[in-house]
Amino acid sequence: MAESLLQASRQRRVKAMTAAAGSASQAALPLLLCALLAMPVAFNGMSPSSSVGWYSWDEQEFSGHSATSRLLINYPEPYRSQILDYLFKPNFGASLHILKVEIGGDGQTTDGTEPSHMHYALDENYFRGYEWWLMKEAKKRNSNITLMGLPWSFPGWLGKRFDWPYVNRHLTAYYIVSWIVGAKRYHDLDIDYIGIWNERSFDINYIKVLRRMLNYQGLERVKIIASDNLWEPISASMLLDAELMEVIDVIGAHYPGTHTVKDARLTKKKLWSSEDFSTLNNAIGAGCWGRILNQNYVNGYMTSTIAWNVVASYYEQLPYGRSGLMTAQEPWSGHYVVEAPIWISAHTTQFTRPGWYYLKTVGHLEKGGSYVALTDGLGNLTIIIETMSHKHSKCIRPLLPYFNVSHQIATFVLQGSFSEILELQVWYTKLGKSSERFLFKQLDSLWLLDSSGSFTVELQEDELFTLTTLTTGSKGSYPPPPKSQPFPPIYTDDFNVEYPFFSEAPNFADQTGVFEYFMNTEDPGEHRFTLRQVLNQRPITWAADASSTISIIGDYKWSNMTITCDVFIETPGKGGVFIAGRVNKGGILIRSARGIFFWIFANGTYRVTGDLAGWLIYAVGQAEVTAQEWYTLTLTIKGHLSAGMLNGKLLWSEVPVNFPKNGWAAIGTHSFDFAQFDNFHVDATP
């Protein structure tokens, strides 16, 4: 069907795409394609008859952050490498050109916490968390990939008891620069862009201090992007402050709805949609992605669009489940899904290269949709056309004003040096109704036999075409992964890992606090290797972190379960720990999590509560508990009743449980105190 949509002939609505041969030799500015694909490049305005100039096509970006790749590292081979290939391998899948990562700051950042490289003032460890691993895997597949870092939260010691990272600007700048230096020293990773504070207030003097410290460390090449929030007030601040204008390289805004503001354009800086998408990765999410990839540039002059997030590799019931370019949330089974946004990305990333330019002749189609054209200045040309309908391209934010897309015929004319092009490769996607759906299908080549250099495309709604001189595109594939399976109903972890590949235990997803593998050098016995909660003060938060630390695990559908875990309270007097079942919330909603929480405290008491905050108290009493001793806790939940044991002896029983009906298992501490956990076991068989 789609093969018949293309004809080489003159038709209505001529859109001239002209390239002066003399301009083709101009040096290309470096172009960074993002690990979060978007379709953008600096654009000032055009009319169909205007002559074409080239504009730097900065980046197409995809990013992984906010603890959204937590489960990916736990995947067994070969499935983990296959997932990474779909994301980063050139000319295979999404072929991402930039990876934006979170600089772990120990705080909740949407779907979990990511550990900092400096939990405490005198602490440095550049092997915590999975971001180092993810960046190296991306580089392994594409050595030219651009890397970007942005903090969401910061460790508490930087705030000196204030929830504010700018109390000591030099100290915070040192902390960020240390992360950049550590990336190079320990992982041979060159960070290209650094942000300020995700979606929170910026401090003008801090940005200046950061630039000076980067330069002092010989990191002049690291560029600053600000402020990863709204276009204002950062744009106006730059216009009023010459030094600020000089030190900021890129203005980044989040979820701009394909539009910028006048002040941002007046700065003449690169404009990026530095976070976008965050939409369910079904056909509508793919339509959202296809539309904004083109229109962020066409409408808003944005030369980069960063999609949150790169891969949905976190428990689906956490906030914004399946809002990644693909889904990989079952490391226990190996199952993953290459979702439609991967192939929407490929329409742009596989047919452009760092250093390409947008042509000035881009714009909207007469009956809905948009088109852009890019060139390497050496004769290659890529044209991307989208006709996403309003119904099938709504992003999660912002509100999308109504528009109409209908059947149309569009004619394009190649002039100047492009008139010598004889053949264009054609790649096609059809979204909308499942019965009509195609994803990244290669059609027959388009031969330009007409001496006028024109060709015509018949367009229906919810389509995406890429027409290109490049012949390297491909739709990569692997054998189907294993079938989807629920989390194992019987699960055990003794944490006996002497040299862990990763600092956190498999499948545990920290929601407040940080739980890491730990070796007790003074305990040669059963508890030599444990899992330890390692924060001793509340971080500078981005979200509403809970007052108690917590790490969740398992199947959200679990109802009846028995959880057993050895626990060790390190803080005398005020320390406390818990195990829990049917935990019903996580991520940015963790403060309001309900469930059945079984607590013991160093002061010799126990408590049973129906929520993490401890407001719903079901039972209290005395227990033979103190700090610096190991105890075994057992929590049994069956139907509407629950019971708890301490060291195998019944401590409380027949506590009613009416809500919630299901949820994860969990461990945690009463406050930000050190504590250890060992020999975790859950039995959730029906």
Residues labelled catalytic? 199, 275
For residues 386 and 298, the answer to whether their CB atoms sit within 8 Å is no
Contact 375, 357 (CB under 8 A): yes
Q: What CA–CA distance (Å, rounded) separates 135 from 126? A: 13
Distance CA 268, CA 23 (A): 22
Handedness of CA 246, 248, 249, 255 (dihedral sign): negative
Q: Positive or negative, the Cα torsion across 214, 217, 220, 223?
A: negative
For the chain, the distance separating the N- and C-terminal CA atoms, rounded to the nearest angstrom, is 50
- Alpha carbon distances (Å) from 89 to 92, 98, 142, 143, 440: 6, 12, 6, 10, 16
- DSSP letter string over 447-475? E--STT-EEEEEE-TTEEEEEES------
Taking the C-alpha atoms of residue 351 and residue 374, their distance in angstroms, rounded to an integer, is 9
> Do 253 and 260 contact (CB within 8 A), yes or no?
yes
Are 226 and 232 in contact by the 8 Å Cβ rule? The answer is no
For residue 134, which phi and psi values (nearest 5 degrees)? -65, -40
Which tokens hold the place of 451?
A: 């001496």
Q: How far apart are CA 72 and CA 327, in angstroms?
A: 10
DSSP string for 143-188:
TT-EEEEEES-B-GGGGTTSS-TTTTHHHHHHHHHHHHHHHHHHH-
